[in-house]
Structure 1
């Protein structure tokens, strides 16, 4: 029996020593961090759903307000959260070649996410990004506006029918559900060439799209794919169920074959992918991609042609990535837009007035450039993306050792970020910092008025990321949001009621941004003036 106790004592001692060594790495490097919980690192309260990740970020801001970079333990793995604007600019732009990759959350063999632009690495990512960037210019997105308009009008018709059937002059709506269905229908039309009606009922495309977006609700799969990728690869673990993978594979490849056979041209992503595979998609001349909106991320990857060998898996992966990146994050932004307009009626009235005046001037018609001409609409959308950035944190993986410099004023030596380690950039932290945005929790579109835009500190507004690895679809997202807002507010009015979450409080059981109890507002037909 004594040998059992002896070996148990040895094992416990070894574990304690290992944890002490593992959790001292940041302090040895002179990097400050918040207290940890063994095995969970700094994620315990978030994992236990006692805190939202934004609470953790705000705690870091107040605890280490002057540090250039702060430490974070992802379970046992040390990471670095960049707090200084100039340091962020160096890492994401000037010294980008040191941080060209993202941290993978699945294996390279994952048939959907593994081959998507989001997780490709090094030169392969550069070639794919350069090849795909012409697909997301304003001129290409402009051709998709009629599809967005069609989906918006169908949504409004369904809302009108529900109001009529309710026996009241209004209906109560969870804007997250409403906007998710709108965004899915937009993606179905603009990306996959399908006409679906998710506003009326669940359908095959809607169900499989939810399977794509909700992979975070499969924690065991995520754990193996992220922390034990070799095991996940051996066991053929994928984040997405096989039936959903097969569904989208059949949709993409089947549609491409059918169009090639019948010489069908439709200005959507399927058509663009066909052009990509044939090598017919080229970069536009400078000056053809302007006026997309203040929040637009700018393309900074090289524009040379790459002889990228496209497999069927690559084509499907890019289409699915467009779906993944294009409906959950955008629907979150639109749901918060409707919420803020409901609880800020002065902003809603001013925006509705701009829409009415512009609509009257155009004789009730909305062409592809209509939403681009509305300055206050752009101000409102820009402020929503500041206050409620859909992506709270983004990471970059170091691909070769990097001398960051002193992490804080107390540090006695430079911080060397090692190859394989990750740094984190948080739009939320910069957007909510009172040094850059006075009264940061206040919804104030006038921050982005023409006379105030120049006062914004450069690189502190990053709703779509920063540097060459920013969001490739920002123009599509902005146009989709503005088309919806223009057409909906032209016809409808949103306002709060007893179920509306006010003041805003985030749900702690969701890593993404979601209001506690749901994003409920009341909608009625806008009175004619």
Structure 2
């Protein structure tokens, strides 16, 4: 009897708690789709029936004329911005009200928690201004030879596999291939290491794969950190195993100390972090930071300010680990989707190949940072790729000072007041697939980004690298890496669908990452030069 009484009390308490939780958005007159107890609008995600971006897109589309809409990420209420003026205010005009981002990992981890994405307030501003000079065009230009070297190794392995094939073609899991390519570029451009993951699963590659693997257990941790950060900290739950942090910390600190001791200079991120530690990393005087393409985001005044703050070794290691985590998954995802779209759109592929051949003829086969920036159609293709398949499909901002966002919709009786600590979310994926902003959004059409048509794109509707001062600091690096890889591959290989290719394109439901159902399988065959 006593057990039944306690069970009834606990059940009643849970019901009251859930009732309070799922009434938060309604009290602010923010409309949302019907919810499922405990799971909110994420039931499909929890049961692996739909991808997270699909669930957010459904909420985005549920109330076409609302300025903001609600979405329950399990029991955590999200507020999705739809109104362009509000989006501009939150990300740029009134940025000081929304300086911070939501936690997505262990903010108390002395390494992971000190990276640029998780830093808040003045610490973030200081770190952003410290790192900003490391991602200028002049710095990225010096890393292109490292990217080309990695690409050459990839092409050598593909050629070897083609030579061993008896049918004149090979079917390739391009996500695996792109993952290995991105791993080796990060290894050389950030860590100063030369590895060949196309040939073997080296220890560096194994640790990176382990770090980036978002299995169901890590997914639950991710949700916990976003919904209950204080509880996760109290329970001392870590997003990443301690052995992974130790592995990369040992490599980074060891490399830094060796270079300091032997006065070794190499044009990579480790060298730039050493300059940051010495306070000698600064923007190039008298030079203009050129664009790396239409999708490039510009640095704000926050990043251009002079900063004299001294950083610890752990602070710098945290940034190197961020470059690894951010660059590894996003680049490999972008490359695999780009090759997929080129295979499904052969007319786009052939036009791009023609531009590559013209560029080779013009420059005598030489390929560098300058020549790649002159390839207009390549930039159009990559820009459209990032519209359809943005590697980071959502961004968010935390309110640090109470903010009046106006009425959430025309029928609302009061303004929506964003409280301190409350977050606002932007579904980049949904914005990019909104037919009001991009007609026929599910069609891969690089012509949207031609010189004539790009002027028609509404400001703040295209944001593959985010918006405002907290945009992606590495947009130039990412764009350059993607362009280098696809250039090297298409100049000698034709990419086409194979029996295992996912047609029509559909996102896999069993992962938080952007993946195609069944994998990213494509066919490679030698390109003819008729």
TM-score (norm 2): 0.97
CA distance in 2, matches of 1:417, 1:330: 34
CA contact (8 A) 2:497 2:523 kept: yes
CA distance in 1, matches of 2:388, 2:214: 26
1:204 aligned residue = 203
Structural RMSD (CA):
1.6
Aligned length: 528
CA distance in 2, matches of 1:84, 1:484: 37
1:376 aligned residue = 377
1:75-154 alignment, distance < 5 Å: 75-154=74-153
Deviation at 1:176, TM superposition (A): 0.6
Deviation at 1:72, TM superposition (A): 1.6
CA contact (8 A) 2:59 2:70 kept: no
Q: Show structure 1 runs of 4+ deviating over 6 A.
A: none
SS at match of 2:369: coil
1:335 aligned residue = 336
Deviation string 1:435-474 (CA, Å, 9 cap, x unpaired) is 1111000000000000111011111000000010010000
Asked whether 1:475 is paired with 2:476, we answer yes
Deviation at 1:109, TM superposition (A): 2.0
- Unaligned 5+ segments in structure 2 are none
| Closer, same or farther: CA 458–184 of 1 in aligned 2, 3 Å | same
2:168 aligned residue = 169
1:262 aligned residue = 262
Deviation at 1:305, TM superposition (A): 1.7
1:351-430 alignment, distance < 5 Å: 351-430=352-431
CA distance in 2, matches of 1:295, 1:125: 24
2:315 aligned residue = 314
| Closer, same or farther: CA 44–315 of 1 in aligned 2, 3 Å | same
CA distance in 1, matches of 2:286, 2:434: 35
1:233 aligned residue = 233
Q: Which deviates more from structure 2 when the two are superposed, residues 454-463 or residues 207-216? A: 207-216
1:350 aligned residue = 351
| Closer, same or farther: CA 221–73 of 1 in aligned 2, 3 Å | closer
CA distance in 1, matches of 2:56, 2:4: 43
CA distance in 1, matches of 2:20, 2:242: 41
CA contact (8 A) 2:57 2:427 kept: no
| Closer, same or farther: CA 4–324 of 1 in aligned 2, 3 Å | closer
Deviation at 1:6, TM superposition (A): 4.7
Deviation at 1:286, TM superposition (A): 6.7
CA distance in 1, matches of 2:56, 2:104: 21
1:251 aligned residue = 251
CA distance in 2, matches of 1:4, 1:111: 44
Deviation string 1:341-399 (CA, Å, 9 cap, x unpaired) is 11100000000000001101111111231211100000000000001111111111111
CA distance in 2, matches of 1:73, 1:240: 26
CA contact (8 A) 1:225 1:237 kept: no
CA contact (8 A) 2:109 2:238 kept: yes
Q: Which deviates more from structure 2 when the two are superposed, residues 206-215 or residues 464-473? A: 206-215
Deviation string 1:320-359 (CA, Å, 9 cap, x unpaired) is 1001110101110110100111110000000000000110
Deviation at 1:227, TM superposition (A): 4.0
Deviation string 1:7-40 (CA, Å, 9 cap, x unpaired) is 5444433332222222111111110001111111
SS at match of 1:423: strand
CA distance in 2, matches of 1:234, 1:6: 30
CA contact (8 A) 2:79 2:423 kept: yes
1:483-522 alignment, distance < 5 Å: 483-522=484-523
Deviation string 1:466-485 (CA, Å, 9 cap, x unpaired) is 01001000000000000111
Asked whether 1:191 is paired with 2:206, we answer no
CA distance in 1, matches of 2:240, 2:204: 14
Deviation at 1:433, TM superposition (A): 0.6
CA distance in 1, matches of 2:8, 2:243: 49
SS at match of 1:305: coil
CA distance in 2, matches of 1:254, 1:289: 32
1:271 aligned residue = 271
CA contact (8 A) 1:41 1:76 kept: yes
